[in-house]
């Protein structure tokens, strides 16, 4: 058996190395905003930067800073496993576009372009095998053109497009089939009006994923693995009806649709596993009807419907197991079912259906 395993390993090694040769070095070509302000680039390990004059300058685990004289070429070397294109510490916004032409030994795109507020376009060869895109485009306010690249192995998409204010229309359909977390992935992408059907079957984290996006509808994501949906669709003023997602495994629904001022219907939902509903629908001022909410556990119901000023009907809700109910129905003067007496019962622990 040992010989068989060794033979398989040798075959696999040959597949990845002999036909293709050594991996090309990490290479990024950067177009400067101007030729007045110094750019700042960092890679751990050894790397070189050609600041536009055709003469590479060598660096070793330090920040390189020069005024560019043309397009800038960054090349990673020994020990270089990640890059920071806005420098470290206080981020420096100096590049109009970024083109990644080789991945080399880079194992993560985490925060690579974070803080490049003026960057408009980003292209890359497929980053095969990379597992994290956390913060890749965080605060890239001007970014409006991202060609889809291979993200099939990526586990963590947290903050990938956080506050990409110029990203508009329908979001690019990245492969999220391996995703475990999409927390804040499109947080405050306020120009977004369409969301494609991402593969979310394995994803557990959706904390503020689409907060303040302005898409009027959502596709039917597979939410069977979801645990945390806190603030997931918060602040969406274009959405009129909550999607019929399977949220039966979710434990945290805090601030889920807080401030969704156009939503009029919240359909029946199985919340069998949920223990926290704090402010779930607070400030949904146009909300008229909430369907049956299947819930059995001790939970936090505080401010759950607070300031839902148009709300008239809640199908069913069960607080008999106990939990915080502070201000659960505060400023819901239009609510008639449950009526005032039934609301008091619910606040004290009651199965209303």
Q: What is the per-residue pLDDT for 22?
A: 52
For the cut 90, the answer to whether the pLDDT of residue 19 exceeds it is no
Q: What percent of the chain has pLDDT over 70?
A: 93
Q: Is residue 287 part of a domain?
A: yes
Q: What integer pLDDT is reported at residue 89 of this predicted model? A: 81
In a domain, 7, yes or no: no
Give the pLDDT of residue 95. Answer: 98
User: What pLDDT score was predicted for residue 8?
Assistant: 37
Under the banding of pLDDT at 50, 70 and 90, the label for residue 23 is low
Residue 61, number of CB atoms within 10 A of its CB: 12
In a domain, residue 192? The reply is: no
Is 33 within the bounds of a domain? Answer: yes
Asked which of 58, 80, 103 is the last residue of a domain, the reply is 103
Is 306 inside any structural domain?
A: yes
Segment 29-48 mean pLDDT: 97
Domain range spanning residue 50? 24-103
Where does a domain end: 72, 103, 134? 103
- Region 76-83: what's the mean pLDDT? 94
Q: 5-9, 136-140, 289-293, 315-319: which range is least confident on average? A: 5-9
| Angle subtended at Cα 190 by Cα 185 and Cα 195, rounded to the nearest 5 degrees | 60
Rounded mean pLDDT of 222-244? Answer: 97
- Asked whether residue 4 carries a pLDDT value surpassing 90, the answer given is no
At 296, the pLDDT band (50, 70, 90 cuts) reads confident
For residue 19, give every residue at least 6 positions away whose Cβ sits within 8 Å of its Cβ, in sequence order, or none: none
> Which of 71, 103, 135 is the last residue before a domain boundary?
103
User: Is 1's pLDDT higher than 50?
Assistant: no
As a whole number, mean pLDDT of residues 297-310 equals 98
pLDDT at 212 over 90: yes
CA dist 172 and 190 (Å) reads 15
Residues 279-291: what's their mean pLDDT? 98
Asked if the model's pLDDT at residue 9 lies above 60, the reply is: no
Number of domains forming the structure of the chain? 2
- Can you tell me the distance from the alpha carbon of 283 to that of 328, in angstroms, rounded to the nearest whole number? 12
From start to end of the chain, where are the E strands? 27-32, 39-43, 46-50, 56-60, 63-66, 72-76, 83-84, 95-102, 121-124, 145-146, 169-170, 192-194, 265-266, 269-270, 289-294, 313-318, 351-352
Mean pLDDT of 24-50: 96
Task: Classify residue 165: in a domain, yes or no.
Answer: no
Is the pLDDT confidence value at 145 over 90? Answer: no
pLDDT of residue 17: 35
Query: Looking at the domain assignment, is residue 244 inside a domain?
Result: yes
**Which class for 10: exposed (0-12), middle (13-18), buried (19 or more C-beta within 10 A)?**
exposed
Helix, strand counts (H, E) of the chain: 2, 17
Contact 294, 314 (CB under 8 A): no
Does residue 21 register a pLDDT over 50? no
In a domain, 329, yes or no: yes
Task: Calculate the average pLDDT of the chain.
Answer: 93
Q: What is the pLDDT of residues 332-344, one digit of tens each?
A: 999 999 999 999 9
């Amino acid at each position: 058996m040992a010989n068989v395993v060794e033979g398989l390993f040798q075959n696999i090694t040959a597949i990845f190395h002999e036909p293709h040769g050594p991996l090309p070095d990490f290479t990024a070509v950067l177009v400067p905003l101007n030729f007045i302000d110094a750019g700042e680039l960092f890679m751990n390990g050894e790397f070189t930067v050609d600041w536009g004059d055709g003469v590479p300058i060598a660096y070793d685990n330090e920040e390189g800073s020069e005024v560019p004289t043309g397009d800038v070429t960054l090349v990673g070397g020994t020990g270089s496993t990640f890059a920071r294109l806005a420098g470290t510490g206080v981020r420096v916004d100096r590049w109009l576009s970024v083109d990644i032409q080789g991945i080399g030994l880079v194992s993560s795109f985490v925060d690579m372009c974070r803080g490049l507020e003026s960057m408009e376009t980003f292209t890359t060869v497929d980053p095969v095998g990379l597992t994290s895109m956390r913060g890749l485009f965080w605060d890239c306010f001007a970014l409006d053109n991202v060609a889809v690249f291979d993200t099939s192995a990526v586990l963590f998409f947290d903050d990938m497009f956080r506050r990409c204010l110029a990203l508009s229309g329908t979001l690019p359909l990245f492969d999220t089939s391996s995703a475990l977390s999409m927390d804040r992935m499109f947080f405050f992408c306020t120009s977004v009006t369409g969301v494609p059907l991402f593969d979310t079957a394995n994803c557990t984290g959706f904390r503020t994923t689409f907060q303040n996006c302005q898409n009027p509808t959502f596709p039917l994501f597979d939410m069977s693995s979801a645990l945390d949906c806190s603030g997931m669709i918060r602040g969406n003023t274009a959405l009129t009806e909550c999607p019929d997602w399977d949220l039966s495994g979710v434990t945290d629904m805090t601030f889920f649709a807080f401030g969704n001022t156009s939503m009029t219907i919240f359909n029946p939902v199985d919340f069998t596993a949920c223990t926290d509903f704090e402010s779930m629908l607070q400030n949904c001022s146009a909300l008229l009807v909430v369907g049956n909410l299947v819930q059995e556990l001790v939970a936090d119901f505080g401010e759950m419907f607070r300031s839902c000023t148009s709300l008239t009907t809640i199908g069913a809700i069960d607080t008999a197991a106990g939990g915080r109910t502070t201000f659960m129905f505060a400023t819901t003067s239009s609510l008639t079912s449950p009526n005032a007496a039934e609301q008091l019962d619910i606040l004290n622990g009651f199965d209303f259906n």
